[in-house]
Amino acid sequence: MELQIYIDGDFFPESEAKVSVFDHGLLYGDGIFEGIRFYNGRVFKLDEHLDRLWDSARAIALTIPISKKELEQATLATIRQNGLRDGYIRLLVTRGKGNLGLSPDRCPKASVIIIAATIQLYPPEVYERGMVVVTCGTRRASSAALSPAVKSLNYLNNIMAKVEANLAQADEGLMLNEQGFVAECTGDNVFTVKNGVIMTPPVYSGSLCGITWQAVLDIAAELGISVKVQEMTRYDIYVADEFFLTGTAAEVIAAVKLDGREIGDGKPGPITNRIIAKFRELTQSTGTPIDG
Ligand code: PMP
């Protein structure tokens, strides 16, 4: 059975779900997106994802052609249309069809695409052993050029770093900002634990304001674990007791090596495991019901 894809108000089977070759999302990476998970019949942090999508749109002066409420309903309808209870949504808003010039003023209407599918980012053994991470030479794009807070369709900066990580046979690549401070991984936010205190870089170091990142900060507050949100260098990770990454697709995942150095005792740590357990509880018990 083919996936049913939502495009601008209609559903199309996967084989017929197509966009114009003149869409500026394709021609220029001009557009925005969200990756959203649903668990056990509920969409996790849907309002937060839609709010971030609207912020991304505002930042790139893109008008989303439907209201937030309509997009929420369209997202839920797409999941129902595909008969899924657990899975991943890719929600895109492209600048729409224009001409070959880069100016968006020739794109009269943005396009909304919603794909609901299943996902497994890393095999289960990576969650058990923890990820191997290397620092990439490719720096995270400067906020002065294009803010990493915008979840845009132009992911080449991250992809260049991912290519480096792949060539080094690592699971993920750590990206520094232009000043050399830790920004984030290619598709995940970064945390450490040292002497029982969680540390993570602020968004202004050059990361996406991760929904999972925020969920982990909330969990830490609930568990009474102290958190320092501050600029970090690789030193802070090398000397940490624990290292973990967060993202909608990867969820919360331990990392055990950076640049060939074992972090802590080289195994997923106890605070990481507590946060993973709490995060799972949250994903299984909260969210917007798919059935309305
Ligand atoms: N940073 C980048 C570059 C990302 O693409 C993502 C999403 N995969 C994240 C961080 C994590 O954000 P979230 O928790 O909202 O998925």
User: Residue 1: its pLDDT value, please?
Assistant: 84
Ligand 1 atom nearest the C-alpha of 49 is: 15
The pLDDT tens digits for 37-72 are: 999 999 999 999 999 999 999 999 999 999 999 999
Residues 77 and 201 in one domain: no
Q: How far does residue 106's CA lie from ligand 1's centre (Å)?
A: 30
How far is Cα 56 from Cα 71, in angstroms, rounded to an integer? 15
Tell me which of 117, 135, 162 is where a domain ends: 117
Question: Considering Cα of 130, then 134, then 135, then 137, what sign does the dihedral take?
Answer: negative
Q: Does residue 221 register a pLDDT over 80?
A: yes
Domains of the chain: total: 2
Residues 50 and 87 in one domain: yes
Which residues are tagged catalytic? 151
Ligand 1 atom nearest the C-alpha of 35 is: 16
Residues 187 and 55 in one domain: no
pLDDT band at 121 (very low <50, low <70, confident <90, very high): confident
Find out whether the beta carbon of 246 lies less than 6 Å from any atom of ligand 1.
Answer: yes
Find out whether the beta carbon of 207 lies less than 6 Å from any atom of ligand 1.
Answer: yes
Tell me which of 117, 140, 160 is where a domain ends: 117
Question: Considering Cα of 283, then 285, then 287, then 289, what sign does the dihedral take?
Answer: positive
Tell me which of 117, 142, 175 is where a domain ends: 117
User: Residue 187: its pLDDT value, please?
Assistant: 97
List, in sequence order, every beta strand (DSSP E) within 40-186: 42-43, 87-94, 111-117, 131-135, 172-176, 182-185
Residues 186 and 88 in one domain: no
Find out whether the beta carbon of 135 lies less than 6 Å from any atom of ligand 1.
Answer: no
Ligand 1 atom nearest the C-alpha of 250 is: 8
User: Residue 282: its pLDDT value, please?
Assistant: 98
Alpha helices in 173-269 (DSSP H): 211-223, 234-238
Residue 28 belongs to a domain: yes
- Residue 231's closest CA among 281, 172, 183, 173? 183
114 in Cβ contact with 151 (< 8 Å): no
Q: How far does residue 89's CA lie from ligand 1's centre (Å)?
A: 14
pTM score of the predicted model: 0.97
Q: Does residue 292 register a pLDDT over 80?
A: no
pLDDT band at 119 (very low <50, low <70, confident <90, very high): confident
Percent of the chain with pLDDT over 90: 97
Range of the domain at 61: 4-117
Q: How far does residue 101's CA lie from ligand 1's centre (Å)?
A: 30
Ligand 1 pocket test: which of 34, 189, 190, 219 has the largest number of ligand atoms within 8 Å of its C-beta? 189
Residues 143 and 96 in one domain: no
Residue 226 belongs to a domain: yes
Q: How far does residue 286's CA lie from ligand 1's centre (Å)?
A: 20
User: Residue 120: its pLDDT value, please?
Assistant: 80
Residues 52 and 140 in one domain: no
Residues 141 and 46 in one domain: no
How far is Cα 238 from Cα 247, in angstroms, rounded to an integer? 21
The pLDDT tens digits for 164-208 are: 999 999 999 999 999 999 999 999 999 999 999 999 999 999 999
Residue 278 belongs to a domain: yes
Residues 139 and 97 in one domain: no
Ligand 1 atom nearest the C-alpha of 151 is: 5
* Average pLDDT, rounded, for the chain: 97
pLDDT band at 75 (very low <50, low <70, confident <90, very high): very high
User: Residue 127: its pLDDT value, please?
Assistant: 93
